[in-house]
Structure 1
Amino acid sequence: MILPSRTLLAATVLLTPLTALTPASSAATGCASSVPYTSGRDGYGTFRVPAAVTTVRGTVLAFAEGRRDGAGDTGRIDVVLRRSGDGGCTWGPLRVVAAGNGDTRGNPAPVVDPRTGDVVLVTCYNGGGVTEAQIMRGEVTPERGRRVFVQRSRDDGRHFTPPREITAQVKPAGWRWYATGPGHALALTRGPHAGRLVVPADHSAAPPAGSPDTGQEAAYYGAHAFHSDDGGRTWRLGYADARYDGVHNANESTAAQLPDGRLYFSSRDQNGTSAGNRLDTYSGDGGQSLQRPYAVQHTLDDVPVVEGSVLQVRGPAAPLLFSGPSVPTARRAMAIWRSTDGGATFTRALTLSRRPAAYSDLVQVSRHTVGILYETGTTGAYDTIEFRRLPAGALASRAIPRGVP
């Protein structure tokens, strides 16, 4: 779907090629950071929920939710995109990929299909006048509740097909809330499921028999994943965490494929009663099932209740990275942790800043560069979405000095 002033050509949403680049905060060659999104600009009160991928041509795509009415999670929200042809130093103009048209479209989960090079984007929808709490309580019709859509770009993110609904393929009857990612989805590159696209997600369900139907966030959440083995044309539900015990409430999720082929899943613990805010687990069959239930990852106890991102860096002896704020009680001080044992333990490698910060997404920009697209600001965590470039070798070999603003 597109804004009324845009033109529909060849059944695709037209995204203007990279022009009118916005200068980065430093010189384009070897730049350290840039700011693709600033709240209050381009007709949006706030930009939130970043997601990033690098295409087969080396273009960095930075997706976000463009929230027209402020920072709230519902209302008039579009999925927007800016493209960078120089590794995230400068950015092309903002374009709408999926227009809410008064409703809510969000939770972007992009992934590059390794077989074709196409960019596949999965997002969610709900009516702009309904809230998560109403959906959790079962007060919303299916048409206005959470629905799931997929789009495709065959030309390096310049054009995307209109959103195509896949709700019936991935959302069982009885589930209420539903959220893809947010952050990049995963393309498997090795093992018997090589080529599979895996989307980490979360949901809520009607409460178990005998439990109060309060719709409170502290209960009835669970993580799950769904996947496609044909490049995003058809989808199937994979594992679903359905304990609903109030102790471990797996919620917004992210995933990486480890060098041994297993999938590592990391999840926000949404108001669970366990001592810790991050949960993790593994899958040995491409996301179809879990090797163990979600459990607290205590080496990430500094992370508050918030979305996070994981990335398996390419290269020999390369680490698994995790990004998130690093103050347990506040969304502040974005940091990156490193794991050299497949997610069993993490060590903090870098604190990017002491400023407010919230959601983030990690992306491999090139062989030598890792990028992080993250919410941050001076007056609050949602002032801007910044892109920071980091040396992959330094993240892999040692802690980086913490001289930060």
Structure 2
Amino acid sequence: MGNTPSRKGYEKQPEKTTLFKKEPTGITYRIPALLYLKDTQTYLAFAEKRSSPSDSDAKILVMRRGSLQNGSIQWSPSQEVTSAFLPEHRTMNPCPVFEKNTKTLFLFFICILSNTPEHRQIITGRNKARLCYVTSSDDGQTWSQAKDLTESVIGKNVRRWATFAVGPGHGIQLESGRLIIPAYAYYVPFKCFSFPIPFTVQPHALSIHSDDFGQTWRMGKMLQRKSCECEMAEIIDHEGRSHLYCNARNTHGHRVEALSESSGAYFDKPRLAPKLVESRHGCQGSVIGFPAPEFVPNDEADSIGGTTSPLSPDTQTWLLFSHPTNKTSRRDMGVYLNRSPLHSSGWDQPWVIHSGPSGYSDLAHSEDVEHFACLMECGKESELEQIAFVSFNLSDVMQTVDKREKKEL
């Protein structure tokens, strides 16, 4: 698929590589997760393999490896992560994270009993989900057997959870070494005759974290606002302090944001992000933090010599966010840049990287370089047609957005 004009002017879009494609038999691939391994310059792309588009027909996780060779990415054939399962359960919501000290790759996921749909768990208040992970010490070439953390991490709290899930998308490791897995749970505040009172069960985002390289895990407190599927990023301010940022799905027309000064133990004052729109029922989105550049391209200088201009950012970190940009339906996948990430008003207008039906996505950053990748659900008639990979540079995002804003002045 070549570059095509977007609905917001005639902006070039990055070339797509299809990694997972809906099959004539009805087999559908959904819920992308993407991780970049710096040491081996390798991308790991994960998805759910389903016998139909329905959540209840999810079966197993699949993955592909993308190795950087001679300036291009060579992708391996798709393979099933066969150990990521529990008997009589279906596997969903891939959420990988890499622990840098022990060089261990964790792949979190949930297992749902049989084909029990999410809405049935919410109506009955009876959770059928399990919190699990597998690990790999060879960058995803082989995997351990699944470990079930439900009892040790969630414990009795699950009695008040109608259901829960991780991510979907990637987890992160903070500068302190803490591993963060984004998650959400449908909390049951009131019951009557052992059933939830109708319309009182709502989702709340939270973190699951480890301070001992993934040997043990704990969960933080829920956001005190309706918030669903989420991802998190670390923001480092000018004084070197860490702020954990959460960006979550919502149904009130805008994304929910929150900051934690306790590395995910709890989040303060969740708020709506006025510049990040949601469609009526919301959609998953992805966020990553990366070092703010010391210099940025100067458009006028580019035309005569390609020089740069110094930059004084508000923080040492910028954020990048991907999500469908249409207010009414899942269409037009956009990438948003935030150069003042401690302020919800800091988001730029989006650069549309796919015009047309778009769904879930996951972003990755090639550390030490200003290069990014996005794995996204997209298509011509439906977002369920394929999961595609695109890559781009920070300059692509900034120049597209800055040039459009100049035209609008």
Calculate the TM-score normalised by the size of structure 2: 0.80
Answer whether contact 1:77 1:102 (CA < 8 A) is retained.
Answer: no
Asked if residue 90 in structure 1 is aligned to residue 42 in structure 2, the reply is: no
Q: Distance in 2 between matches of 1:384 and 1:25?
A: 16
* Alpha-carbon offset, residue 209 of structure 1: 5.7
CA gap 1:376/1:355 in 2 versus in 1, 3 angstroms: same
What is the correspondence of 1:3-402 to structure 2 with a 5 Å cutoff?
32-40=15-23, 45-55=27-37, 56-67=39-50, 69-86=51-68, 89-97=73-81, 98-99=84-85, 103-138=89-124, 140=126, 145-171=128-154, 172-174=157-159, 175-189=161-175, 194-208=176-190, 213=196, 216=199, 219-241=201-223, 243=224, 248-260=225-237, 261-269=242-250, 271=251, 274=252, 276-292=253-269, 294-301=270-277, 305-316=282-293, 317=313, 319-342=318-341, 343-345=343-345, 346-366=347-367, 367-395=369-397, 399=401
Q: Distance in 2 between matches of 1:223 and 1:277?
A: 15
Distance in 2, matches of 1:169 and 1:228, equals: 13
- Contact 2:104/2:136 (CA < 8 Å) preserved in 1? yes
CA shift, 1:119, in A, is: 1.1
Q: Is the 8 A contact 2:256 2:273 kept in 1?
A: yes
The superposition leaves residues 81-128 of structure 1 with CA deviations (integer Å, 9 ceiling, x where unpaired) of 111112883311111112576632111110111212221111001123
Computed over aligned residues only, the root mean square deviation of the Cα atoms, in angstroms, reads 2.6
Question: Which SS does the other structure have where 1:347 is aligned?
Answer: coil
* CA–CA distance in structure 2, aligned partners of residues 215 and 119 of structure 1: 40
CA distance in 2, matches of 1:184, 1:215: 33
Counterpart in the other structure of 1:20: none
CA distance in 1, matches of 2:109, 2:274: 31
Aligned 8 A contact 1:151 1:161 in 2: yes
What whole-Å deviation, never above 9, does each CA across 1:185-226 have from its counterpart, x for those lacking one? 11102xxxx11111111101223367983555x842211111
CA distance in 2, matches of 1:80, 1:104: 13
Check 1:398–1:357 CA distance in 2 against 1; reply closer, same or farther (3 A cut).
closer
> What displacement does 1:311 show?
0.8
> Which structure dedicates a bigger proportion of its chain to helix?
2
Q: Judge conservation of contact 2:274–2:344 (CA < 8 Å) in 1.
A: no
Task: Please list every run of 5 or more consecutive structure 1 residues that lacks an aligned counterpart in the other structure.
Answer: 1-23
Contact (CA 8 Å) 1:76, 1:103: kept in 2 or not? no
AA aligned to 1:337 is Y
How many residues were matched structurally? Answer: 355
Change in 2 beyond 3 A, CA 1:204/1:215:
farther
Shift of 1:239: 2.1
Question: Which whole-Å CA distance do the structure 1 matches of 2:141 and 2:327 have between them?
Answer: 39
The Cα of 1:363 is off from its aligned counterpart by 0.2
Runs (4+) off by over 4 Å: 99-102, 209-212
Secondary structure of the equivalent of 1:240? coil
More strand by share: 2
Calculate the TM-score normalised by the size of structure 1. 0.81
